[in-house]
Each structure stands twice: as C-alpha cells, then as structure tokens.
Structure 1
Amino acid sequence: MKLLILDRDGVINYDSDAYIKTLEEWVPIPGSVEAIAQLSKAGWTVAVATNQSGIARGYYPLTTLEAMHARLRELVAEQGGVVGHIVYCPHGPDEGCDCRKPKPGMLRAIAEYYQVNLEGVWFVGDSSGDLQAALAVGAQPVLVKTGKGERTLEKGVPQNTLIFDDLAAIARALI
C-alpha cells in the first residue's frame, strides 16, 4: 500500500490563528484538492490526521467538523479521487490525551486502521508538532511551506525533513 498522511489546516486548507470554525471558513489551498485526487488516482491512499482543539474549546461542534470533512471528500470525488481515513483529536492542549500532535496517537490509529507499519511513510504537515509526530512513529517528516510552514522552517526542522512549497508539489514528486 502506498500511504500518504496529511495534516489538514495549513496543508489542505487555509489555516487561521482564530481557528476554522465554520464550513464557510474551510477554504482549500489552491491545488490541494486536485493534488489529493491525482495521488488517489495514481494509487496512493491519502489519510488525514488533524488536531481540532476548537471542539474542546467550544468554538464549533463536531457536526461542523464532519461537514468540513464531507466537503473535502466531495471536492476530491469531483476530481475523481478518494480521501482515505480521517482521524482528528478533539481535545485541548492540556487534556493529556495521546492523540494530540506532537503525540503520535492519530498516526498510530491510521496505521492500525490500514494494518501497516509507518516506517518511512510520509507525514505532511506545516508545524513542528506534525514533524515530531512523524518522527515518533518512524515516519518520514515532510514540511510544506503553506500554513505555518514558513514560520516552522525559520525555527528549524529535523535534519531529515523533506521540504516542499505545497501539496501540489508533493503530488508532482510522488506521481
């Protein structure tokens, strides 16, 4: 199985320090939906692992998050692709869960879902927490410069991190 795991906010859609709280605020980064569809059509399984502490903070309900993910699936399907398993952490940063990145719980859940080892599997994110989660499970950390990616890059990234401009550039590299 060719598995690619993506963070959501800042990788697939625009991010906001004020959180993405409504379906209207969930806006794909240009080329990201097409990239997921192209990868899917080329035999890649594209899964998503996303921190969504806005749920714990009361900024939006689970139904809104589900609507955002349904919209993502719909847009990718319109391009002939499929979005794989989507996992999210609804907890706040102080709840002590194992799923909130940089902890690796969501990546482990994806590995369990697909019955695969994550050694060398690319995990694409825009934050140091994403890169740390990848390293914790032996996955290949991949940074995109979209979202918080430029800021993350300025602070320094793990030595073996792959760096791309955006998700479309990753699709071009993998296909």
Structure 2
Amino acid sequence: MLVILDRDGVINEDRADFVKSPEELVLIEGTVDAIARLKSRNHRVVIATNQSCIGRGIINEERLHSIHAKMLDAIARAGGSIDQIYYAPDAPWAETPMRKPGSGMLTKAMEDFKTTPSNTIMIGDSLRDLQAAYGCGVHRLLVQTGKGRKTQADGTLKDLLPVSVAANLSKAVDLIEDGRFI
C-alpha cells in the first residue's frame, strides 16, 4: 500500500503563521512511531504537502529542506523513513494542479511508485487533502488533529464519502493495519 501523508496537522502541529524554521517544527506525539510502524509493514510512505510559504516569499526551498531534515531525522531515530516528499510551493493565488485540492502530487506519487488508487490511501486533516484524494480516487482518511475536528464538524465531507476518521496518525495506522479503513 502507498500511504500519502499530509504534513502540517498530521505529522507536525499546524501553525497559522507557517512552520518557518526547524525550531518551529513541533511533531505531534506518536507520529514518528506511527510512521515507523507503517514502514515495518512494508508500506511505501510519502508526504504530499502544500507549502505556500515559499510562494508567499516567507521562506525559500533551502529553508524548507532544513525543516524536512529535522523531521526526517526524528522519523529515522524511531526506526522509520519517508520514501519521498512532494511539495507544492504555489501561493494560493498562483496555484497549479500540484497544489491541493488539486490531485497532482498524489497522481505523481502513484506514478512514481507504480501503484493504483485502490492501493493508495491519503491521510489528511483538511478538506483540501480529502478533495485531492477524491479527485484521483484514492482512499481517504481524516485525522482529527490539526484542522481535522473542524473539517469533520463543517459537514463538508458528505460530497467526498466514504471517508474513514481516526483521532490521530497512530489510530489511522491502526485502521490500516487492521484493514478497517474504507
């Protein structure tokens, strides 16, 4: 299975003012262990993340790579790894199909890992994560961390059903391991 993870709100705490430095990256409790569990079950794990802070001129790609290096180091120390990180640097007013809710990053991941939508799951916390997954027909799993509770409460998911829901990434991995996601 190809497991595509959103970053902000799923792996690390979401910030209204963006994660602008490695010091501002705060991992959500249990996420690195959850990723290690996925890898121990031979899943491919990738990240697909909108990073409009680049398009807005807040940080550059070099800074983004240093933020990701901190995250990848923490995941490696837990015994896990990330197979690939896809990011859309577009500002919202200059978006391309790569920026979620577009499905470009997810489609690229499936092409790169030679898999199909039925063997792919997107785990996200926002409506646009689930819209991107719906757009290319992959399984959708909402975590209640980050924007997840608000996304669930908004009532906007009805057009994207079926959507599985888990309290956090660790519980989402439980659903995957037990085959209980939709």
TM over 0.5: yes
Instruction: Name 1:14's counterpart in structure 2.
Output: 13
Structure with the largest fraction of helix? 2
Paired with 2:37 and 2:45, the residues of 1 have a C-alpha distance of 10
1:4-83 alignment runs, 5 A limit: 4-83=3-82
Distance 2:72 2:39 in 1: 12
Deviations 1:103-122 (A, max 9, x none): 00110111111121123521
Look up the match of 1:128. Answer: 127
How many Å apart are 1:95 and its aligned residue?
1.1
Distance 1:14 1:56 in 2: 21
| Residue 63 of structure 1: how far off its partner (Å) | 1.1
Question: Which secondary structure state, in structure 1, belongs to the residue aligned with residue 8 of structure 2?
Answer: coil
Q: Could you tell me which residue of structure 2 aligns to residue 166 of structure 1?
A: 168
In structure 2, distance between residues paired with 1:96 and 1:76: 30
Query: What displacement does 1:60 show?
Result: 1.0
Q: How does 1:68-107 map to 2 (within 5 A)?
A: 68-107=67-106
Deviations 1:85-139 (A, max 9, x none): 1100001111141101000011011111112112352101011000100000100
| Distance in 2 of aligned mates of 1:159 and 1:133 | 13
1-side partners of 2:78 and 2:94: how far apart? 38
- Is 2:2–2:119's contact at 8 Å kept on the other side of the alignment? no
The Cα shift of 1:174 comes to: 2.3
Ranges of 4+ aligned residues in structure 1 off by more than 6 Å: none
Q: Distance in 2 between matches of 1:142 and 1:174?
A: 10
Greater shift in the superposed pair: 146-155 or 156-165: 156-165
Greater CA drift, 65-74 or 30-39: 65-74
Identity of aligned residues (%): 38
2-structure distance, mates of 1:107, 1:159: 18
What's the RMSD between the two structures over aligned residues? 1.1
Aligned partner of 1:20: which letter? V
Which letter does structure 2 place at the counterpart of 1:82? S
Aligned to 2:108: 109
Task: Give the TM-score, by structure 2 length.
Answer: 0.92
Instruction: Give the drift of 1:70.
Output: 1.5
Give TM-score scaled by structure 1 length. Answer: 0.95
Give the distance between the partners of 1:28 and 1:92, measured in 2 at CA. 24
Whether the 8 Å contact between 2:124 and 2:130 is mirrored in structure 1 is yes
Aligned to 1:150: 149
Aligned length: 174
